[in-house]
Amino acid sequence: MRYLLDTNVLIDGIPPLPHGSEVAISAVTLSELHYGVLCARDDFERGRRLQRLEAVEAQFSPVAIDATVARIHGQMTAAVAAIGRKPCPRMMNLLIAATAASVDAVLLTRNVDDFVGLDDFVKVVDPAEAGGAR
């Protein structure tokens, strides 16, 4: 199975996944991690976040935002608006979800509720439900 990890999963720690799973991240997640380093409240926290960012950059080649992701993102944004939710506060999450959909991956996130209305585009799973030994 192929998984795309939401930023919160990288921050909290990648859970055990089924054997043979492919794991990827979105370029959006890398952006969020860079932002986290830059807005840290003190030097200790900045150093901790920088270590995480460097480890993620060493481990992953992020999936880029391309024309396919942009098309899916537009469709997802419209779908979210159609069910009465405001897409603007969810823009980064919608880009991550569109990235997952573009590579036919399950989106692994601890914030499943942030992705309501996207069932037609991408499967969204909490890490506790993914389970399995790596």
Q: What is the pLDDT of residues 9-45, one digit of tens each?
A: 999 988 889 889 999 999 999 999 999 999 999 999 9
- pLDDT of 130 reads 80
Walk across the sheet containing 124-125 and list its strands: 22-25, 2-5, 106-108, 124-125
**Confidence (pLDDT) at 132:** 58
The answer as to CATH 3.30.1490.190 being correct for domain 2-25+63-130 is no
pLDDT at position 134 is: 40
pLDDT digits (tens, 9 = 90+) for 74-125: 999 999 999 999 998 899 999 999 999 999 999 999 999 999 999 999 999 9
Distance of CA 125 to the CA centre of its chain: 11
Residue 53: predicted pLDDT = 96
Calpha distance 104→3 (Å, rounded): 9
- Beta pairing, strands 22-25 & 106-108: unpaired
